Structure 1
Amino acid sequence: MPPKRQIPTVRLRRLAAELRRLRGASELTREDVTERTGINTVTLYRIETARVRPQRRTLLALLDLYEVHASHRDEVLALLQGAKEQGWLRPYHSELPEQYTAYISFESEAWEVRNYESLFIPGVLQTGDYARAVIKGTLPMATVEAVEQRVQARVERKAVLAKKEPLRVWAIMDEAALHRTVGGPKVMREQMEHLAQVTGEPHVTLQVIPFSAGAHAGMPGSFVLMGFADKEDPELVYLDSMAGDLFLEAEIDVRRYGVMFDNLRAQALSPDDTLRLITTLASEMR
């Protein structure tokens, strides 16, 4: 039986980063750590990249080797305990692609997301029928069960907008996403009406880049920037493409996509003009 898949969490990611930092401060290579502790080099790599959650005895061995003082040791052990918490992930999510379940986990813990989409309505703002049409169209070989699992996951993701401290969403779309009739006129009309409704929420900002803007920085593809309430948790970039999903953590990448998002925001219609456009298109579809 294959081992149970470890779903990344914000705390697991922070724990991995801290262990990398402690090893670096001790001026030890992974091979040095293996020699002194017996921890397999591959296992250490997986721990330091948040691919697995370390066992408590393994973590204690590392903290001993790095000569971590008592107060800081307690903080690191607390991260280990918190790393088990996986937000609102459901049991059936284990059937979803690994990177997508990782995205769901991070999104559930994020404080804000800045999302640019070139062809789709942003996932967290999609209706169930729109999501179903998108998934069927983009995954023509998927089984009915697989489609419904993804639809359910996408619909459940909207719960982050109804939390006591709701996720702050700033979404920008190319106008093309509004004109592509996904699922037929009725589905698109309901999707437009849903967008018009959610943009009235104080934690949701929606902008559209009009066709008249011409070429813009977002044309190469969609991306999501995630920010977390605790400043100890650095921002994260998520890319979804035909070549596969990818998370970027390097400061230079986060900064580059942040500048790109600001550029797109400047080229987009204002939130009020965006609402007027969406309302007009919804009316035309009636």
Structure 2
Amino acid sequence: MITGLLQTKEYARAVTAATVVPRTEDQVDRQVMLRMKRQERLHSSRPIGLWAVHSEAALRRPVGGNAVMRDQLTHLLEIAELPHVTVQVLPIAAGEHPAMVGPFTVLEFHEESDPDVVYVETPVGGLYMERESEIAGYTCVFGRLKELALSPEKTVHFVGQIIKEL
């Protein structure tokens, strides 16, 4: 799926309703609201940096239907224009890759007091990995994904083509 910091509200609602252990409508609403609140960090006076590599499959899966996906992909392109955001697509044609077992997020804090962390989302919650060996391994995997993925410029064109197909 598209990473939470880049999701539209409608896409986030569809993903949350489909992937989270059964929840009430109020619980889904709260989860979506929290996701939207976290996204404010991308637009704050001191925005966080974000580098995301998405599988082509995530961009082609019609989460919420074609209209929701069209809006989601358009939003992805808009956010990719921000100077502190980099978006790349890993095309299916790239074949096997080191992240085929599932998505992950490397959180880098650049402060001695705040060590880096790897976050792995699961259907029932999330796992945080803090050991240096785990972080080093995931950082290596992410480096390889960036090499295999389309450049940010080619990604914009590629996503534009997917939008046209919708």
When normalised by structure 2's length, the TM-score is 0.96
Q: Which amino acid aligns with 1:135?
A: T
Q: Helix, strand or coil: the match of 1:191?
A: helix
Q: Residue 180 of structure 1 corresponds to which residue in structure 2?
A: 61
Q: Any gaps of 5 or more consecutive residues in structure 1? A: 1-119
- 2:47 match: 166
The amino acid that maps onto 2:77 is: A
Q: Is the 8 A contact 2:19 2:123 kept in 1?
A: no
Partner Cα distance (1:277, 1:242) in 2:
29
Instruction: Percent identity, please.
Output: 39
What's the counterpart of residue 142 of structure 2?
Answer: 261
Moved over 4 A (4+): none
SS class of match (1:132): helix
Task: Give the partner amino acid of 1:267.
Answer: L
Q: Is structure 2 residue 6 aligned with structure 1 residue 122? A: no
Q: CA deviation at 1:244?
A: 4.4
What is aligned with 2:122? 241
Aligned letter for 1:257? Y
- In structure 1, C-alpha distance between the alignment counterparts of 2:71 and 2:123, rounded to whole Å: 28
Partner-residue secondary structure (3-state), 2:46: coil
Q: RMSD between aligned alpha carbons?
A: 1.2
- Give the letter aligned to residue 141 of structure 1: P
1:93 matched to which residue of 2?
A: none
Rg bigger for which structure? 1
Distance 2:111 2:22 in 1: 41
Aligned position for 1:157 = 38
Q: How many residues align?
A: 166
Asked if structure 1 preserves the Cα contact closer than 8 Å seen for 2:86 and 2:152, the reply is: yes
- CA distance in 1 between counterparts of 2:100 and 2:113 reads 32
Deviations 1:17-73 (A, max 9, x none): xxxxxxxxxxxxxxxxxxxxxxxxxxxxxxxxxxxxxxxxxxxxxxxxxxxxxxxxx
Show structure 2 runs of 5+ residues with no match.
none
Greater RCO (Cα-Cα under 8 Å, separation 6 or more):
2
Query: Which one-letter code corresponds to 1:159 in the other structure?
Result: E
C-alpha deviations, 1:234-276, integer Å up to 9, x for none?
Answer: 1111111246421111111111111010011100011011111
1:198 aligns to what SS in structure 2? helix
Q: 1:190 to 1:171 in 2, by over 3 A?
A: same
Q: Which residue of 1 aligns with 2:89?
A: 208
Question: Residue 201 and residue 138 in structure 1: after superposition, are their counterparts in 2 closer, same or farther (change >3 A)?
Answer: same
Structure 2 residue identity aligned to 1:128: K
Contact 2:98 2:145 in 1 (8 A): yes
Match for residue 71 of structure 2 among 190, 199, 207: 190
CA deviation vs aligned residue, 1:108-146 (integer Å, no higher than 9, x gap): xxxxxxxxxxxx011000000000011111136211101
